[in-house]
C-alpha cells in the first residue's frame, strides 16, 4: 500500500491523485502512520505548507519508521531536494511530475529501484572482513572526443563521472560572513569552479545550499583532466579563497569523485532524477570525504589516474560497500 500524508494540502493532493471514490492502491492520511511502515509499504510526505520545524520533525519520524519513504513537493518549496536523499528518502516528486500526473506505475518504479539498490552487486570480503559490493574495475571507457552536452538527449541513461564539491572555513561560512556576503561568495565560487574545470568539459549539474555536483564526460582524458584540476585547486585553495573569493580567512575544498550511471536531464530540470550513483556521490561527499582531499571511489576506472599520481592516493577503507581512496594532504607552510 502507498500512503500519502498531507496535513495542510490534502484536498489538492486528492485532485492530483485522481477522483477515485475507493482507491485500491493508495490511502490519504493526515499524519504519518507509525504502524504502517512495514515491508512493501511506501509513505510519501507532502511538504506543502510545512514550516522548517514541522518538516524536520516529520522526516525524523519517517527515518525512524525504517521503511520506504519519499517526498511530494507540488509547489517546489524545497530549496535542496538532494537533502532528502541524504536523510534516506527513496524518492522525490517535484512540481513537474505532479503537474504531469501521478499513477501507480511511477511509485512502483521508485520502490523497485530502491529494492534493487539494496541487493545489487556481488558481495565479497574486504581485507578487514567488511562486505564489499562488486566493483567496475574492468569497465572500458569509450574512446574519441566528447561531442558536447547538447549531444546527449534528455531522458536518456548513460555513464558519467560525478564530481562533488564543497567549500568550508573554520566555521559555517554563512554565519561567519553574513547572508549578503555569502551569496556573493557562492556566485564567485561557481565561476571559479567552472573556470578551473572547463578543460574537463565538466557540467555544473546540481547546486544545493553549500554543495555542487558536476557531471564529467565518460572519457579517460576528461577523467584525468578533472583529477589534475581538482588537485591544483586543493593546492591553491588559500590563494583562491583570498584572490578569487575575496575572503580574509583560509578556506578548504572537499572533493569526491565517483563513476556510474544516471538518467540525464539538463541543469535545473533534475528534480525527477532517480539514480543510485547520484545518491552515492552525495553521501560520499557529505559523509565520508574530508576537507583538503580528493576522495575517489573504486568504481572510477584505473585508466583515469594521471601518470605518476596513482601513488598519491591511498586506500582508506570501504564506504557503503565500495572501496575508496583519499589523496594525500598538501603541507602548507
Identify whether residues 206 and 309 lie together within a single domain: yes
- Taking residues 41-66, what's their average pLDDT? 84
- Please indicate, yes or no, whether the overall pTM of this predicted structure exceeds 0.75: no
Identify whether residues 98 and 232 lie together within a single domain: no
Identify whether residues 264 and 197 lie together within a single domain: yes
Residue ending a domain, among 117, 136, 166, is 117
Identify whether residues 186 and 264 lie together within a single domain: yes
Q: Is 269 exposed, middle or buried (0-12, 13-18, 19+ CB in 10 A)?
A: exposed
The continuous run of DSSP H or E covering 107 comes out as helix 104-119
**Grid cell 513537474 — which residue?**
96
Q: For position 298, which CATH number holds?
A: 3.30.70.1230
Beta strands at 203-207 and 252-263: parallel, antiparallel or unpaired: unpaired
Choose between 250 and 50: higher pLDDT: 50
What mean pLDDT is reported for the chain? 80
Structurally, the chain folds into a number of domains equal to 2
- Classify residue 157: in a domain, yes or no: yes
Helix residue ranges, H only, 125-178: 173-177
For 314, the domain range is 149-327
Q: Choose from 5-19, 51-65, 215-229, 260-274 the range with maximum mean pLDDT.
A: 215-229
Identify whether residues 182 and 316 lie together within a single domain: yes
Residue ending a domain, among 71, 94, 117, is 117
Identify whether residues 209 and 300 lie together within a single domain: yes
Percent of the chain's residues with pLDDT above 70: 82
Tell me what pLDDT residue 21 has.
Answer: 56
Q: Cell digits for 290?
A: 574530508
Q: Distances from the Cα of 174 to the Cαs of 171, 186, 209, 210, in angstroms?
A: 9, 10, 10, 9
- Classify residue 259: in a domain, yes or no: yes
Tell me what pLDDT residue 34 has.
Answer: 61
Identify whether residues 230 and 302 lie together within a single domain: yes
Identify whether residues 97 and 153 lie together within a single domain: no
Q: Distances from the Cα of 21 to the Cαs of 15, 18, 281, in angstroms?
A: 12, 9, 42
Question: How many Å apart are CA 34 and CA 171, to the nearest integer?
Answer: 37
Tell me what pLDDT residue 171 has.
Answer: 55
Question: Per-residue confidence at 123, pLDDT binned at 50, 70, 90?
Answer: very low
Tell me what pLDDT residue 168 has.
Answer: 77
CA end-to-end span of the chain, whole Å?
Answer: 60
Identify whether residues 168 and 293 lie together within a single domain: yes
- Classify residue 286: in a domain, yes or no: yes
Tell me what pLDDT residue 120 has.
Answer: 44
Amino acid at each position: 500500500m502507498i500512503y500519502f500524508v498531507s496535513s495542510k494540502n490534502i484536498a489538492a493532493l486528492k485532485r492530483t491523485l485522481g477522483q477515485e471514490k475507493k482507491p485500491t492502491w493508495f490511502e490519504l492520511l493526515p499524519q504519518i502512520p507509525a504502524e504502517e511502515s512495514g515491508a512493501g509499504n511506501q509513505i510519501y510526505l507532502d511538504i506543502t505548507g510545512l514550516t522548517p520545524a514541522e518538516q524536520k520533525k516529520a522526516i525524523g519520524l519517517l527515518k525512524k519508521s525504517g521503511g520506504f519513504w519519499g517526498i511530494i513537493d507540488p509547489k517546489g518549496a524545497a530549496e535542496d531536494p538532494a537533502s532528502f536523499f541524504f536523510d534516506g528518502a527513496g524518492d522525490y516528486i517535484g512540481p513537474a511530475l505532479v503537474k504531469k500526473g501521478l499513477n501507480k506505475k511511477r511509485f512502483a518504479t521508485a520502490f523497485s529501484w530502491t529494492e534493487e539498490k539494496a541487493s545489487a552487486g556481488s558481495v565479497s570480503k574486504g581485507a578487514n572482513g567488511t562486505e564489499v559490493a562488486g566493483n567496475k574495475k574492468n569497465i572500458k571507457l569509450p574512446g574519441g572526443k566528447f561531442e558536447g552536452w547538447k549531444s546527449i538527449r534528455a531522458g536518456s541513461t548513460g555513464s558519467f563521472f560525478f564530481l562533488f564539491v564543497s567549500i568550508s572555513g573554520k566555521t559555517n561560512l554563512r554565519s561567519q560572513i553574513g547572508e549578503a556576503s555569502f551569496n556573493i561568495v557562492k556566485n564567485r565560487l561557481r565561476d571559479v569552479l567552472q573556470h578551473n574545470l572547463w578543460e574537463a568539459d565538466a557540467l555544473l549539474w546540481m547546486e544545493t545550499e553549500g554543495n555542487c555536483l558536476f557531471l564529467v564526460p565518460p572519457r579517460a582524458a576528461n577523467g584525468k583532466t578533472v583529477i589534475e584540476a581538482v588537485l591544483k585547486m586543493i593546492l591553491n585553495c588559500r590563494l583562491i579563497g583570498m584572490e578569487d573569493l575575496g575572503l580574509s580567512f583560509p578556506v578548504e575544498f572537499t572533493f569526491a569523485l565517483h563513476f556510474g550511471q544516471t538518467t540525464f536531464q539538463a541543469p535545473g530540470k533534475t528534480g525527477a532524477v532517480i539514480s543510485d550513483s547520484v545518491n552515492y556521490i552525495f553521501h560520499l561527499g557529505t559523509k565520508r570525504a574530508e576537507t583538503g582531499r580528493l576522495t575517489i571511489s573504486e568504481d572510477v576506472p584505473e585508466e583515469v589516474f594521471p601518470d605518476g599520481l596513482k601513488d598519491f592516493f591511498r586506500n582508506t577503507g570501504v564506504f557503503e560497500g565500495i572501496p575508496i581512496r583519499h589523496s594525500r594532504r598538501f603541507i602548507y607552510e
